[in-house]
Structure 1
Amino acid sequence: MSIQLVLAQLLLMTLGLIGVATAEPGKILDHGSKLLLGLTVTFMAARLPPRTYLRLATPAWLFTLILLALVLAVGVGTEESSATKRWLEFGPVRFQPSELAKLGLVLQLASFFSRRGVERKLISATGMILLTTLLVFLEPDLGTSVLTFGLGIILMFAAGVRISNIAWFGLALTLVSLPVAGIYLEKHPYIMERWRGHQNHEAELVQGLDQIGKAHRDLSNGGLWGLGPDGPRYEYFAAHTDMIIASVGFSTGLLGVTMVFFAYWMIVSTALQVSQLAARIRPMTPEIHGASTMATGAMFMIVGQALVNLAVAARIFPVTGVPLPLVSYGFSSILTMSLALGIIHSAMRVVRSQLPAEPNPAELMAIATD
């Protein structure tokens, strides 16, 4: 296993534990048990070879589509919005299938391109991306559907699809979706309300409704080293989920926030190393190609979502409801992101094992003298 990746996961989970202890002390034991389960999932997933994931990719992806369809039929919402169906309940367990669907799409596209190649396969891959995105879009969950669609585009590029083909696809889809956008926004007015709130936060500040502003004040009050979980803080929405970075910053200060960014950088670095090492292997087998694509997709799934969450916290984006991977409270996200890390571990192991042997110095000297 990659020590760098293990350290990144432990660092993010530890900071998340501190953030939950700060925002919702009563949930600390529940969150800790889910983190232990996540670590177990990572270590178990890392032991499986990439060919197993590639072989099971299509059934796994279809299973996530069934779960998404079940959400539309029998899913549950929240107290704030019962019409928004995003979860399935199995007894005491509540699970969000859209989290798992993103990983299912990564595996399916990696398997598809490793078996079929990228030539003349754009239409099939596009259908997979659009079908997954559409089911999430209908929940409705605009933030996750945009992330899912973007993830699919990145996977096509990572697999070797020409950027010109991707650009034409994006343009055509934009033109087709414009008429649908107006109907969707009219049916789900909360999206425009969030956007108007994002644009008019000065008015909300006067009314005392500026929730993100309160989170910013908590973040700045943390200073360099933090005030600890028991310090006096503001009350604001989703302090243990979507806005947990503010809780982490309050308790651990700028040092803790910097460590969050550093941990995500370590995940990016490890996945890029998989791609670089895979490029040295000749011939490029379907398993190696699929492993490299899986690692890239898993990395973008984690880090892309993290960037969106942090952009919301920085008031760059309006509220999306996207958790901070491996830090926020929530069973679905912890389980899925831990599984994604296990896949990167698996890809790294097989790529390292198939690297060409490098000649030792004595052999190089013998070649030079000849």
Structure 2
Amino acid sequence: MSIQLIIAQVMLLCLGVLGVATAEPGMIADHGLKALLALGFTLTIARLRPRAFLKLGPLVWGVTLFLLLLVPFIGVGTAESEATKRWLQFGPVRFQPSEMAKLGLVLMLASFFARRGVHNKLISATAMIMLTTFLVFIEPDLGTSVLMFGLGLVLMYAAGVRISNISGFLLALVLLAIPVAGLYLEKHPYILSRWNQHYSAEEVREAGLGQIGLAHRDLSFGGIPGQGPDGLRYVYFGDHTDLIVASVGFSSGLLGVAMLLFAYWLIVVTALDVAHLASRVRPMTPEIHGASILAIGAMFMIVGQAFVNLCVAAGIFPVTGVPLPLVSYGFSSMLTMSVALAVIHSAMREVRRQLSGLDTPDSQDAQATLPAPAPATD
């Protein structure tokens, strides 16, 4: 286990409980219970070895694709946006398949690159990224689909794909996307309206022009120590979900926001440390190669999404509906991100075991379980 990751997760979960207590006091017990379950889930799943995640990759990815295919037909929306169907509901269970799809893509590509290598053409890996992104894109969920696509590129780079190949892939995608971009924006005009939402400093101070303006008000009124969860504030849509950072900033001030950023920084440092240690393992086995890819992919899943969410709250990006990982109210995202942390824990433990020479006997058959990387022959 990585103490840094545990500290980061506990900090984020506690800040999430504080944000929910500020925005929706009636949900404290529910969110607190889910936070404890998420932490327990991380500590349990982290006991698995990277080999298990690599084996499960194709299965998890296949299941998430199936669930994404169901969304256009039986998906449900929210009270605020019934037309946007991004959730599946089976009885009392309601979840967002696109959150699971991020993890599925990480596991699948890590498994693929660990077995096949990164040489020659990468048609199969490209197809996996595009298929997953497309199914999220048509929900429609532009914010998550962009994150999904970026996640695929990061995984390719972490696996060792040349920058020239990635650049060629990007150029081809841009050329293919131009003809359909206009039709997509015409069908979903709310996307352009979000890009055109700009507020002057005076409008933000008046706090009367929508959720971003009110979020800015809460952040500025928090000051350095914060107003506490019982401070007087406006209630606006997303103050306990997508814009929960404003609630955290209002109740805990600049100190709370700094703790939030520090927790995400710990996750980045730990994942990069895994990749650095993995590069020192000789010989480089498929499991260690896969563990390094898993750690970087899981890290980007969390921190990349956090970056987008915080940019939305700051008014840099338009409203996208992307939750703040491990902080926002909502169990689908929290559970998925908790599994991502477990993946980093597992990868860290494996590379440390290999470097210390304390590998257990069952790891000696790693080469038989995961064949050595070979050039891809698409």
Q: With structure 1 as the length reference, what TM-score do the two structures score?
A: 0.94
- Structure 2, unmatched stretches of 5+, are 359-378
Deviation readout 1:296-320 (Å, 9 max, x if unpaired): 0000010000000000011110101
Give me the CA root mean square deviation: 1.5
State the match for 1:275 in structure 2.
Answer: 275
Deviation readout 1:227-261 (Å, 9 max, x if unpaired): 11001112222000111001001111111000000
Say whether 1:8 aligns with 2:5: no
Task: Give the superposition deviation at 1:180.
Answer: 0.6
Question: Contact 1:212/1:236 (CA < 8 Å) preserved in 2?
Answer: no
Aligned to 2:196, the other structure's residue is in SS state helix
Q: Distance in 2 between matches of 1:186 and 1:207?
A: 31
Aligned to 1:94, the other structure's residue is in SS state strand
Percent identical pairs in the alignment equals: 70
Q: Distance in 2 between matches of 1:152 and 1:183?
A: 25
**Map of 1:83-162 to 2, 5 A cutoff?**
83-162=83-162
Q: Distance in 1 between matches of 2:125 and 2:58?
A: 12
Say whether 1:173 aligns with 2:173: yes
Q: Distance in 1 between matches of 2:95 and 2:336?
A: 11
State the match for 1:367 in structure 2.
Answer: none
- The AA in structure 1 aligned to 2:88 is L
State the match for 1:288 in structure 2.
Answer: 288
Q: Distance in 1 between matches of 2:79 and 2:247?
A: 23
**Map of 1:1-370 to 2, 5 A cutoff?**
1-197=1-197, 199=198, 208-355=208-355
Question: Contact 1:267/1:299 (CA < 8 Å) preserved in 2?
Answer: yes
Q: Distance in 2 between matches of 1:35 and 1:207?
A: 31
Question: Contact 1:274/1:292 (CA < 8 Å) preserved in 2?
Answer: yes
Question: Contact 2:208/2:214 (CA < 8 Å) preserved in 1?
Answer: no
Q: Distance in 2 between matches of 1:228 and 1:192?
A: 36
Q: Distance in 2 between matches of 1:236 and 1:34?
A: 23
- The AA in structure 1 aligned to 2:194 is R
Q: Distance in 1 between matches of 2:91 and 2:30?
A: 16
State the match for 2:368 in structure 1.
Answer: none
Q: Distance in 2 between matches of 1:231 and 1:252?
A: 11
Task: Give the superposition deviation at 1:214.
Answer: 1.4
Deviation readout 1:201-223 (Å, 9 max, x if unpaired): 67976893232121111111111
| Residue range with higher mean Cα deviation, 287-296 or 114-123 | 114-123
Aligned to 2:82, the other structure's residue is in SS state coil
State the match for 1:364 in structure 2.
Answer: none
Question: Contact 1:204/1:210 (CA < 8 Å) preserved in 2?
Answer: no
Task: Give the superposition deviation at 1:68.
Answer: 0.5
Question: Contact 2:295/2:343 (CA < 8 Å) preserved in 1?
Answer: yes
Task: Give the superposition deviation at 1:80.
Answer: 2.4
State the match for 2:366 in structure 1.
Answer: none
- Structure 1, unmatched stretches of 5+, are 359-370
Question: Contact 2:118/2:160 (CA < 8 Å) preserved in 1?
Answer: yes
| Residue range with higher mean Cα deviation, 69-78 or 286-295 | 69-78
Question: Contact 2:199/2:213 (CA < 8 Å) preserved in 1?
Answer: no
Runs of 4+ residues over 2 Å off in structure 1: 199-208
Aligned to 2:301, the other structure's residue is in SS state helix
